[in-house]
Amino acid sequence: MFLRHKKLVLIGVILVLFLLLVACNSIGNDSSNGNTRAGSTQQQGSIPAATAVATITPQLVTPKASGGSQGKGPITIFSPTPVPGGKAGSQQVVLGDRTLIINSASKQKGGSTNFTLIYLDLAVQNTSDKAIMNQPTFFQLMGLEGDIFDYQYNSSDNFYGPLAAHTTRSGTIVFQIPTAAASSLRLLYRPEIATETAIIFLGVS
Amino acid sequence: MTHYTRKILAICVALTVIAASTLLAIESIIGTQAQSASASGIGSLADYFVPGSFPWGTAFDSSGRVWVAMPGCDLAPSCPSSTPPGKLALFDPNALNWVTIVSLPAGYGQPIFVAVDHSGKVWFTMPATNSIGVYDPVSTTVTQWAVPTASAGPWGIVIDSKGTIWFTEHYGNQIGSFNPNSQTFHEVATPSPNSQPYGITVDASDNIWFTENNDSVALIGKYTNQGVLNEYKIRNGPTGGTGLTPHMITIDPNGNIWWSEGWVSAIGILNVAAAQPGTNNGVTEYQYTPSCGSCGSHASGISAGKQGLIWLDDSLQNTFGSFPIGGGSFSFYNSPTSGGHPHDGLNVDSQNRVWFDEEFANKLAEAIPSDPPTPTPTSTSTSTPTPPLGSGLGTDSFQRANQSLWGTASDGQTWGGDANSQSVFSISGNTGRVSNTGGTSYSAVLGPTAANAEVYATGSMSSFANSNFGDVLRWADGNNWYKAYIDGKSLFMQKKVNGVTTILASVPFAATAGTSYTIHFRAVGSTLTANVWASSGPEPGGWMVMASDSTLTSGYRGMRFLTQGGTAAVTSFLAKSL
């Protein structure tokens, strides 16, 4: 009799604890409407639970265009055109009066782990009958977070300068950027003719 | 009951006790954290899926509802041209739901930032299509205008008290304004060609404030209501390559200007009363230590709250936090969704609720501060003193064991520039070697910076074919220096400023491969002089080349090499201040 009573008590305790466990597990979770409220871990502590989310059908608007037109944005290049006979990963960008050739893009660690050097092996071909410019300010890097970098730590000493008609300048330019920014990089090439601005995907090796 | 049954029951009891103890411990921990969070200033935190993707900028309408721009792609760094037009959506904090979703029609781009005018119209920027647009909730129409400068990259947007629309042109160096009545644009350029303006805000007097994002520039711009452009430095001295990228910008209740600083884990303030254009007077930077050392850090959104706090978020740390306007210490909290990437859309509304988008989670987050925390008196501001100019020597005999890179000179100083990072540098046979540079020149510098200085360097080249070596003075980096060098035919004096080289002087000088030469280069004020001679003989009397140039005033001393497929071998280096 005593043993049977003890058994019932133990089963009861287990059931109570199980119910507590289920109850505790439900605290802080409210995924109605796919939204998340509270329950998130904080560096300085958790946050009290919040109220439920109401469900209102939003007004879906496809507005009528009442005029105007879009402008001329940069040329965006996501699928590089390889240089005929060039290195693997090379690409050429044909613009109105010039062709920009990216023979390679690579990175090395900088003077500290916080910084990375991005090497671009480039050539600029003047394909026009007039002289064009080739200046350091034409070359910038765009990365994650929206920031743009143009600090060049080094460059070939004869790379920059004007290009006479149908001539080419080749060389290497070296950017220094924060290491955390050295991924998903694009080259923002903005020459003296703004309509030739291009954003070029860089497969940095 | 059998012995076996009793054993099973005992195990169950033991497991139950362990489970109960664990639960009690977890409950205890949760209780402690909640108390701590409340004390630290956050009452509640929530986030809501947006009816689109990649939410970016936010703005409030007159009812306190939140407009969100959703480009539908990640504009940092860029979107494919095939990306369809983006969306705008309006969130009602009272109903806790989205009340309007605007799908931009064909011919429109991807909105990135939004601003609401006095009549409730929603203005937005579209960098990929170089346009600004407006949505009228009453007529449910949209209109767009092309920015005059091609590929300008219209980015941040704000509206002044007169209803003029102001925006930054992030792909260039301008800010622009648009008068909705006359439908005309006006663009203002900064002096720097690559300032890449990013965030923008307006003060109570309709002065426009904006960040100049590029870390080579790193300025705060102000376009006054009188049409004058002023620029304020954040730091004295060069900032290129430091990662100081002024990002979003806001104004606190005292009228002072705050901005996030991107990759340097900091925010800055300009005390307007102490500000002087062209200087960093009145600027203080406050830096924080990211809790995740391997995640990267980017201070992105920033907005002034109503309880004496500046709110910010760090997209790579996945945190948001606050800093007392009067100075003190940072408080940070995890963003609701792991990997959510809280970015530029942080805004504090009139009820002191903190809103921010979680770009990669496609959510809008809301944090409601509780009681204001007591500011601690400890300031975490960082100073950035300019290194003092040096007056010491730099000398190296290269008498040391063979090694890669140049390592430590015989005077105990460590070689800088490229000498300890580029594999073209080595020590071999008690000479400093530079081999196989290809078409790229590399530098080695030693000792502190100096204004007036001279260098003696002795070495030889295995070949002078399209190759040269020489001394550098006032070297700042590979793109800024004076150099005296020989190429086998002449002694040249050259400068390179911001990447562009200019020959200052030259004199014929025949040099042969394998012969050792000494080059002596001196800079005093604007006077540059140089000699070269075969090392077996004495230095010539007088100077072989002279030039006058005042572009560069101070820098490091060293050497620079272009060896193509050959090798330069240096046997001695001596630099001293004058």
Does the CB of B146 have a partner CB in chain A at under 8 Å?
A: yes
Distance CA A92, CA A103 (A): 8
Does the CB of B259 have a partner CB in chain A at under 8 Å?
A: no
Residue with the larger pLDDT of the pair B4 and B140: B140
Distance CA B351, CA B236 (A): 38
Task: From chain B, pick out residues whose CB is under 8 angstroms from the CB of A68.
Answer: 131, 133, 143-146
- Percent of residues, chain B, with pLDDT higher than 90: 85
pLDDT for the residue numbered B10 = 55
B252 pLDDT higher than 60: yes
Instruction: Give me Rg for the CA atoms of chain A.
Output: 30
User: Within 13 Å, how many C-alpha atoms sit on residue B131's CB side?
Assistant: 20
Q: Tokens 């509304």 belong to which residue?
A: B349
DSSP code per residue over B212-224: E--TTT-EEEEE-
Question: What's the whole-number mean pLDDT along residues B85-100?
Answer: 96
A18 pLDDT higher than 70: no
User: N- to C-terminal Cα distance for chain A?
Assistant: 78
Task: From chain B, pick out residues whose CB is under 8 angstroms from the CB of A115.
Answer: 241, 243
B101 within 8 A of B87, measured Cβ to Cβ = yes
Q: Which of 430-449 (B) contact A at CB < 8 A?
A: 438-443
SS3 category, B574: strand
Q: What are phi and psi of B24, to 5 degrees?
A: -60, -40
**Smallest Cα distance from B16 to chain A, Å:** 6
Residues 6 or more apart from A18 whose CB is under 8 A from it? none
Could you say which of A38, A42, A70 has the minimum Cβ distance to residue B334? A42
Distance CA B242, CA B382 (A): 14
**Smallest Cα distance from A15 to chain B, Å:** 10
pLDDT for the residue numbered A5 = 59
Could you say which of B135, B241, B296 has the minimum Cβ distance to residue A180? B296
Question: What's the whole-number mean pLDDT along residues B133-162?
Answer: 98
Question: What's the whole-number mean pLDDT along residues B556-567?
Answer: 96
Distance CA B165, CA B162 (A): 9
Of A46-50, B220-224, B353-357, B438-442, which range is least confident? A46-50
Name the residue type at position B391: S
- Percent of residues, chain B, with pLDDT higher than 70: 89
Distance CA B221, CA B277 (A): 9
What pTM does this model have? Answer: 0.82
pLDDT tens digits, B449-493: 999 999 999 999 999 999 999 999 999 999 999 999 999 999 999
Question: What's the whole-number mean pLDDT along residues B252-271?
Answer: 97
Of B74-78, B254-258, B315-319, B402-406, which range is least confident? B74-78
Question: Dihedral, CA atoms, B193, B195, B201, B207, nearest 10 degrees?
Answer: -50
In this complex, do B81 and A59 lie within 8 Å of one another by their Cβ atoms? no
pLDDT for the residue numbered A55 = 59
Task: From chain A, pick out residues whose CB is under 8 angstroms from the CB of B78.
Answer: 74, 76, 142, 186, 199
Long-range contacts for A166-169 (Cβ within 8 Å, ≥24 apart)?
Answer: A166/A126, A166/A127, A166/A128, A166/A129, A167/A125, A167/A126, A168/A123, A168/A124, A168/A125, A168/A126, A169/A123, A169/A124, A169/A134
The two tokens of residue B105 are: 């029609």
Distance CA B68, CA B51 (A): 10
Task: From chain B, pick out residues whose CB is under 8 angstroms from the CB of A60.
Answer: 101, 103
SS3 category, B490: strand
SS3 category, B511: coil
Distance CA B217, CA B498 (A): 13
Confidence of residue A88 (pLDDT cuts 50, 70, 90): confident
B306 pLDDT higher than 80: yes
B377 pLDDT higher than 60: no
ipTM over 0.85: no
* Cα Dmax for chain B: 115
pLDDT for the residue numbered A87 = 84
Confidence of residue B254 (pLDDT cuts 50, 70, 90): very high
Q: Which residue, B419, B435, B432, is CA-closest to B459?
A: B432
Q: What are phi and psi of B107, to 5 degrees?
A: 95, -5
pLDDT for the residue numbered A13 = 60
pLDDT for the residue numbered A15 = 57
Confidence of residue A26 (pLDDT cuts 50, 70, 90): very low
pLDDT for the residue numbered B270 = 98
pLDDT for the residue numbered B384 = 39
Confidence of residue A6 (pLDDT cuts 50, 70, 90): low
Task: Give kind and range of the element (H or E) at residue B110.
Answer: none
Mean pLDDT of chain B: 90
Task: From chain A, pick out residues whose CB is under 8 angstroms from the CB of B34.
Answer: 45-48
In this complex, do A170 and B47 lie within 8 Å of one another by their Cβ atoms? no
Distance CA B231, CA B111 (A): 28
For chain A, what are the domain ranges? Answer: 75-105+120-173+185-201
B79 pLDDT higher than 90: no
DSSP code per residue over chain A: -HHHHHHHHHHHHHHHHHHHHHHHHHTT---GGG-EES----TT------PPPP--PPEEE-PEE-S-------EEESS--PPTT--TT-EEEE-SSEEEEEEEEEEEE-SSTTEEEEEEEEEEEE-SSS-B---GGGEEEE-GGG-EE--EEEE-TTTSS-B-TT-EEEEEEEEEEEGGG-SS-EEEE--SSGGG-EEEE----
B368: nearest CA in chain A? A47
Distance CA B148, CA B189 (A): 13
pLDDT tens digits, A123-176: 999 999 999 999 999 999 998 899 999 999 999 999 999 999 999 999 999 999
SS3 category, B37: helix
Task: From chain A, pick out residues whose CB is under 8 angstroms from the CB of B98.
Answer: 56, 58
pLDDT tens digits, B13-67: 555 544 444 443 333 333 323 223 344 578 899 999 999 999 999 999 999 999 9
pLDDT for the residue numbered A7 = 62
Residue with the larger pLDDT of the pair A156 and B5: A156
pLDDT for the residue numbered B31 = 30
Instruction: Give just the sign of the alpha carbon dihedral A169, A170, A175, A180.
Output: positive
Question: What's the whole-number mean pLDDT along residues B189-207?
Answer: 96
pLDDT for the residue numbered B122 = 98
Distance CA B361, CA A36 (A): 11
Q: Which residue, B503, B562, B498, B567, is CA-closest to B530?
A: B503
Distance CA B563, CA B438 (A): 7
Of B15-24, B94-103, B136-145, B153-162, which range is least confident? B15-24
pLDDT for the residue numbered B143 = 98
The two tokens of residue B251 are: 């104004």
pLDDT for the residue numbered A85 = 85
